[in-house]
Amino acid sequence: MTLATTRELVEEAVGRGSGVLAFNVITLEHAEGILAGAARAGRPVILQVSENAVRYHGSAAPLLAACTELARAHAARAALHLDHVTDAGLLEVDRLAGVSSVMFDASADEYAANVAGTREVTSLLHAADLLVEAELGAIGGKEGAHAPGVRTDPDEASAFVRDTGVDLLAVAVGSTHAMTEATAVVDEGLVRRIAAVVPVPLVLHGSSGVPRDQLRALLGAGMAKINVGTALNVAFTDQVRRVLGGDPRLTDPRKYLRAAREAVADLVARTLLDVVG
């Protein structure tokens, strides 16, 4: 199937009064599992590669190229997104083949610096027809740079979008990155207040810690893109441990990576059906 764009998937979701789920890719098995799960559920997805994943691999090009080729050949409909970019070196547009959206993260900066930096990046990426996501009101759990408990102010969010020209806005409403249990409580009322004054779709980061019934409610409250990362890694790693624990002599990585990939596919399919419906 032809590679979709983030703009297409988000606009279609908004038109349905729903949203699209974006799943983090770290390894090739993540990408394969995400696409398999999307195909089973019959729902589109966004494959997203974070700056941290790029650092792990040492370069953006190989993983982005692999995701692009997988999505182009797969039955699932998918777009490719570059997430949490703080390094301007990753924004050389001629190296972003297949990528249709970028999340530029200056949320750790003071408000004025966040606006100025985001505006500059947005202008650059819009010239290359890339969708731009930014973050306001730091989301907790990212290497101590974001303070838990911070919330996005609706009026500030409205001014931020106006002054930067971004296409998507990630907001702090109670979720936290890297949670391994779904115990977070998201402020749905705040989501609605932000959505009422911000003219672009909203994004939820840290959704692995949010119960699925809350995620469903958020889609109706103004969220259009929901990011899932840690939950995939929990499922992936649990299966690796299970397989290796069952056979201490096992050395073939295909044996445990196949199980991990299948666990990712199962989780993606269940999450899509539970949240998007």
Annotated catalytic residues are 83
One-letter amino acid identity for 40?
R
The tokens for 163 are 């002054």
225, 168 Cβ separation under 8 angstroms? yes
Task: With residue 40 as reference, give the H or E element that holds it.
Answer: helix 28-41
E-strand stretches of the chain: 20-24, 45-50, 78-85, 101-104, 131-136, 168-171, 202-204, 223-228
Can you tell me which residue has the tokens 């993260």? 105
To which residue do tokens 């408000």 refer? Answer: 111
- The H or E element that residue 161 is part of is helix 154-164
Whose CA is closest to 187, among 221, 161, 155? 221
